[in-house]
Amino acid sequence: MELGVNNKKTFLKSMVALALPITLQNLVSSSLNMVDTMMIGKLGANEIAAVGLANQFYFLFSLIIFGINSGCAIFISQFWGKGDRKSIKKVLGISLIISALVGVIFTIMAVFTPGLIMKFFTGDFVVIGIGKEYLIITGISYILTAVSYTYSFASRSVGQPKLPLFTSGVALLCNTVFNAILIFGYLGFPALGVKGAAIATLLSRIIEMLLIVGIIYAQKGVLAAKISEMLNLSKEFIRTILITIYPVILNEFLWSLGMTMYSVAYAKISIDAVASVQIATTVKNLFMVVAFGLGNACAIMIGNEIGSGNEDMAMTLGKRFIKITIGVGAILGVIIFAASGFITSFFNVTEAVSLSTENILKLYSFIIPVNMLCSLFVVGILRSGGDTKFSLFLEGGTIWFIGVPFSFMGAMIFNMSIEGVVLLSGLELVVKILIAFPRFFSQKWVKNLVKDI
């Protein structure tokens, strides 16, 4: 896909061509979680809380994988702009190796120590028991997810975002059908409840991985690399890649661990608080897919321009994406606020949980525009420009020195409501924005990483 961006008309056309499939793919992925949450919600608050907390472990894993592939995508985008296909295959090999290793480690932990993982989040034995059963089964899928993520990110970076959209769509359809059959016992199958949801998730991820890898190699494009091409790596090449991507991996690890600590703080309040946040966050993530689409489109377009040597255009693209993100974020915030009561009516929970969920959604309506802008700065602009160490400082510093401490103080010292603790956790986003804007306008983030490779 050639990206023409010299005027606003061609810019918008290129942005939509990338952002729309990526947004839809993330919408599909978030819908998969929404389907799980809604169907499991028919079983009760304990089941919602158990699956929500168990999925925090998957969330931690997925964001580490996101960090690995997001970091490698910086190079793939810039190499694509440079026209260096051999190096793209080498980066793909590095990404697959690291992602697979992380997948194996998390699979071992989920399958063999599920009780310890659940006890980290809650002391409720009923919730722990349900969560253990879910983790053991879904943990097997982590290695498959690692492979799917790698090829999905690489496809986007070479201007082919429709393939991961298609495979994610098939996975969602399969997961929805399998959920209905296995959770509630349709078509003569036994009603397995949470265990059924776990099996459905595993089966859908197997199908997704087989599809994306199979199609890539059937099409014989740039990503259909031979093992020898992916492993034709010099020490200097590996070193160059790792120096840039390790801050991204650490960034995502610290951020995802911080998000996990928020769940621990919420669990200090009550299981109902966990259920409320789980529902509200699942809904928020459906809206945040727009931010992910814009951020990833921005990263690809800026990366291509920097790789081509057009550094001034990279700055111009950043300014355009900032304006668009602010406008879209405001619109989505209004929609969430207006629809908060209607959304909560879909869940079979107590009146107290329903009210808390509605209140949290209203808080999210004000938080989401800032959240979207933060996502754009970190993923779409700074990181794509190769400014990975500053991104690490920005993300890790704000969440661990502001977000996490304030959340625990609100929950454990000041005994605040779940709504108050959620609001405190959002303060780190405001600080992040105040730091990110000066860095952007300094232009220190624009770095051509592939010029001399």
Structure confidence by residue, pLDDT tens digits, 65-86: 988 998 898 889 889 888 889 9
Residue 404 has pLDDT above 60, yes or no: yes
pLDDT at 200: 93
Beta carbons of 349 and 43 less than 8 angstroms apart: no
Dihedral sign from CA coordinates of 160, 371, 280, 403: positive
pLDDT tens by residue, 280-307: 988 898 888 888 889 988 988 998 888 8
Which tokens sit at 29?
């992925």
Average pLDDT over every residue of 157-177? 89
Cα(202)–Cα(373) distance, rounded to whole angstroms? 33
Which tokens sit at 241?
């890649």
> Helices 45-82 and 235-267 sit at what angle, rounded to 10 degrees?
160
Length of the chain: 453
Residue 144: closest CA among 106, 196, 88, 175: 106
pLDDT at 2: 47
Match 């260096």 to its residue by tokens.
84
Kindly state the DSSP code that residue 349 receives in the 8-state scheme. Answer: -
Average pLDDT over every residue of 35-55? 81
Question: What average pLDDT is seen over the chain?
Answer: 89
pLDDT at 15: 87
pLDDT at 27: 79
Tell me the pLDDT band of 34, cut-offs 50, 70 and 90: low
Average pLDDT over every residue of 271-276? 87
Query: One-letter amino acid identity for 103?
Result: G
Which tokens sit at 168?
């994610």
Residue 343: closest CA among 361, 365, 356: 361
* pTM given for the model: 0.78
End-to-end CA distance of the chain: 23
Which tokens sit at 389?
């160490």
283-310 as b/e: b if 16+ CB within 10 A:
bbbbbbbbbbbbbbbbbbbbbbbbbbeb
Which tokens sit at 53?
């907390």
Cα(371)–Cα(288) distance, rounded to whole angstroms? 8
Match 């740039």 to its residue by tokens.
222
Cα(281)–Cα(81) distance, rounded to whole angstroms? 36
Which tokens sit at 109?
């932990």
Average pLDDT over every residue of 150-154? 94
Cα(385)–Cα(315) distance, rounded to whole angstroms? 10
Query: One-letter amino acid identity for 431?
Result: V
Q: Which burial class, exposed, middle or buried, applies to 435 when counting CB atoms under 10 A from its CB (0-12, 13-18, 19+)? A: middle
**Number of other CB atoms surrounding residue 35 within 10 Å:** 18
Q: Where are the beta strands (DSSP E) in 178-268?
A: none
| CB within 8 Å of 250: residues ≥ 6 apart | 67, 392, 396
Residue 3 has pLDDT above 70, yes or no: no
Beta carbons of 96 and 150 less than 8 angstroms apart: yes
Which tokens sit at 436?
């990110």
Give the CA count within 13 Å in the CB-facing half-sphere of 134. 28
SS3 string, 88-116, reads HHHHHHHHHHHHHHHHHHHHHHHHHCHHH
